[in-house]
Amino acid sequence: MTIAEVSKKYELTPDTIRYYEKEGLIPKVPRNKNGIRNFDEESCAWIEFIKCMRSAGMEIEILKKYVELYWKGADTVKERKELLEEQRTRLLKKQQDINATLERLNYKIKVYDEIQQGKRKHFMEKP
């Protein structure tokens, strides 16, 4: 696949993909006889993984550490798992924060609905 195809498939800019490669997050992408990147299945699997981890909020430096450990082999499974568990903990905290925010939004919307429907006459609004 060309970088344009990969960019479209994973909804990432070509610059972002090049950056990931430059930072060592994606193994060197094979190139065709003209020197143009030809993303193979392995390259795409790494891009998909990185995109997922970035969506989870994982920082580039942590991803670099993970990739470095990955290439060291099976002896690093425990350390890689710990990195993922730490990220999961951070993501679960973020999910709790989002849920609390949604509850507040839902409450405010319900109050405004009740005001509009005449079910509430006096309302001391808090921010």
- Show Cβ contacts of residue 60 under 8 Å, excluding neighbours closer than 6 positions: 23, 25
Question: Which two tokens mark 12?
Answer: 């990432």
In a domain, residue 60? The reply is no
* Any domain includes 65: no
Q: 32 and 79: one domain? A: no
Between CA 48 and CA 11 the distance in angstroms is 10
Please give the pLDDT value at position 72.
97
78 and 120 both lie in a single domain: yes
- Asked whether residue 35 falls in the same domain as residue 5, the answer is yes
- pLDDT of amino acid 22: 94
**Which residues have CB under 8 Å from 63's CB, separation 6+?**
25, 50, 53, 54
Q: What is the pLDDT of residue 116?
A: 87
62 domain residue, yes or no: no
Shared domain check, 94 and 50: no
Residue-by-residue pLDDT tens, the chain, 127 positions:
999 999 999 999 999 999 999 999 998 899 999 999 999 999 999 999 999 999 999 999 999 999 999 999 999 999 999 999 999 999 999 999 999 999 999 999 998 898 888 887 766 666 6
The contacts of residue 3 (CB under 8 Å, 6+ apart) are 14, 17, 18, 37, 39
Query: Under DSSP, is residue 31 helix (H, G, I), strand (E, B) or coil?
Result: strand
Please state the domain count of the chain.
Answer: 2
Residues 47 and 97 in one domain: no
- Are residue 47 and residue 8 in the same domain, yes or no? yes
DSSP state of 27: P
Predicted local distance difference test score (pLDDT) of residue 119: 84
Say whether both 88 and 40 belong to one domain. Answer: no
The domain containing residue 106 runs over which residues? 74-127
Contact present, 79 and 72 (Cβ < 8 Å)? no
* Residue at 94 is within a domain: yes
> What pLDDT was estimated at residue 124?
67
The pLDDT assigned to 127 comes to 65
d(CA 86, CA 15): 28
89 and 48 within one domain? no
Cα 22 from Cα 111, distance rounded (Å): 51
Would you state the pLDDT for residue 123? 63
CATH assignment of the domain containing 39: 1.10.1660.10
